[in-house]
Amino acid sequence: MRVAFFSTKKYDRESFEKWLPNYPHQISFFEAKLDQRSAILAQDHEAICAFVNDQLDKAPLEVLASQGIKLIALRCAGYNQVDLEAAKKLNLKIVRVPAYSPEAVAEHAFALILTLSRKTHKAYNRVRESNFSLEGLTGCNIHGKTIGVIGTGAIGRAFCRIAKGFGCRILAYDIFENPEMKSLGVEYCSLHELFSESSIISLHCPLTPETHHIINKKSLRRIQDGCMLINTSRGGLIETKSVISALKKGKIGFLGIDVYEQEEDLFFQNLSEQILQDEQIARLMTFPNVLITGHQAFLTREALDQIAETTLENISAFEENKELLNEVKL
């Protein structure tokens, strides 16, 4: 199939070109992010490949459908960016990569925890300036802490296994309780209990209408003073304004995020020569106890290989009229 590939980065091209010899597909790589205007680039193609911040609401979907596009292959697990109702009406099939090295994201979440708890990012900068003082670098142990995990899907389960290795008590909230996690010693509980008893809270749930702003002004009142909050899932899980207020009051002691509510026009770009127009992320960056990475938790060689292979398999299955095992349905 002829596939228009949007939001292309160097690592995307390298990982897909590595696997392309095994598949009879032709890919046109475009750096442009998919939106209503750039959708015209898909002309003369049969499918498109999109990522997390590509716009897949009604308007661009209509442009794609008018050009004969039949398949949208998401090279990510989340699909909250897709208007599924509009896609169904336009007879557009949606496929995704439901799991790609969940350990990659789980390990990054723990990297944020360890960096914040031991202030290694600050120590690194000091030593490079020949400052070997330890003042202000006192950290805290992870061992023995209670960690609250919201969402025990593939990534959440990988995170729990790491937390278990650190000797933590693990509380979890999920609408489906996983037997494997229970046997590991994970304690399922209510959100209220998780918020009130956890020293560290890590988010690993999808963004849905039910989970949108699950961290908000009300829920933040329930957390322990000085709690660490980690988000490597979706930015919309956190109400940023309320988190900034909680940081100012000391209610949140540490914040580590790899995703951001308004990341669409920020992440995956080099904006170092520009003035940031987003006042909320600019404010977050002023806090000494906040660590932000630019949606890189997925970015490992192993994960990129799995994303490429699964995406190409999804496209082949559609072309050959096989069952779409990774189809997203309304």
Residue 147 and residue 180: Cα distance in Å, rounded? Answer: 18
Phi, psi of 201, rounded to the nearest 5 degrees: -120, 125
- HSE at residue 159, side-chain half, CA atoms within 13 A, is 32
For β-strands 2-5 and 47-50, DSSP reports them as parallel
Cα–Cα distances (Å) from 133 to 51, 54, 98, 124, 281, in that order, read 43, 45, 46, 12, 30
Q: What contacts 7, CB < 8 A, 6 or more positions away? A: 30, 31, 32, 33, 34, 50, 51, 53, 54, 268
Nearest-10 crossing angle of helices 301-319, 10-19? 60
Nearest 5°: the CA angle 228, 234, 236 is 90
Residue 93 and residue 115: Cα distance in Å, rounded? Answer: 41
User: Any bridge partners for residue 26, and if so which?
Assistant: 2
Cβ distance 255 to 284 under 8 Å?
yes
Phi, psi of 112, rounded to the nearest 5 degrees: -65, -45
Phi/psi zone of residue 299: left (φ > 0), alpha (ψ -120 to 50 degrees), beta?
Answer: beta
String of b and e for 142-154 (b: at least 16 CB within 10 Å)? Answer: beebbbbbbbbbb
List, by residue number, the catalytic residues: 234, 263, 295
